[in-house]
Amino acid sequence: MDTTQLLKGVLDLAVLAVVDDEDGYGYDVVRRLRAGGLDDVGDASVYGTLRRLYASGALTSYVVPSDEGPHRKYYGITPVGRAQLKQQRDDWDHFARTVSNLLATSSVTSTATQAIKTGGPR
């Protein structure tokens, strides 16, 4: 299954969670997401998400200048972001459980359908 679409829905949550662990700059966040198992995550998507969360006030950012190369832009979580993280985590738990239940039920249903088709008892 193509996980890109799924990822889009939960990227905010995943990014908030990673930054909540520890402040990080763009590529650092990407790396930690990938290390966590989200191999397919595109770095531009992560950067975009970081900027959007920053714009909505969930993240704060600060620049760490570098003498030799381009500066790094770090992101940290704000109280707003923490609240959002908690809210979304709850939503996600609820959603995941619901979907899991649904999948479990549907697997039962499909078994039942098969049983009906073959004329067997329920």
Partner 1 sequence: MNDTLHSTPEVTAFVTQVRARLSDLSEDEREELVGGLEADLAERLADGEGDLGDPADYAAELRAAAGLTARRGPRARTLGPRESLVGLLDGSRRRWDALVTKNAAATQAWDFAVVLRPAWWVLRAWLAVELLDLMAGPREYLTALPSLGNQVMGALVLLAAVVVSVLVGTGRLWPGSEARTYLPARVVLCALNLFALFLFPVVFSHMPSAWTSHEIYYSPSYPVPDRTEGLELDGRTVRNVFTYDAQGNPLTGVQLFDQKGRPLSVSRDPYLGSYRQTGTQQMTYPWRNGDQRLYNVFPLPVRQQGDPSFRVRDPYTTGRPPVLPTPPLVVVPPVSLPSDAPQPTAEPSSKPSAQSSAAPSPATPQPSASADSGKSPGR
Looking at the Cβ atoms of 27 and 115, the one nearer to partner 1 is 27
The angle, 0 to 180 degrees and rounded to 10, between the axes of the packed helices 26-35 and 4-21 is: 110
Q: How far is the CB of 19 from partner 1 (least distance, A)?
A: 14
Task: Determine the Cα–Cα distance for residues 66 and 44; give it in Å rounded to an integer.
Answer: 22
Binds partner 1 by CB under 8 A, chosen from 11, 17, 58, 77: 11
Looking at the Cβ atoms of 6 and 63, the one nearer to partner 1 is 63
Identity of the amino acid at 73: K
Looking at the Cβ atoms of 70 and 119, the one nearer to partner 1 is 70
C-alpha distance from residue 16 to each of 54, 64, 93, 101, 108 (Å): 11, 20, 15, 26, 36
* Binding mask of the shown chain, residues 43 to 62, with x at each position contacting partner 1 by CB under 8 A: xxxxxxx-xx-xx-------
Task: Determine the Cα–Cα distance for residues 42 and 47; give it in Å rounded to an integer.
Answer: 9
**Interface positions with partner 1 (CB under 8 A):** 11, 25-28, 30-31, 42-49, 51-52, 54-55, 63, 66, 68-73
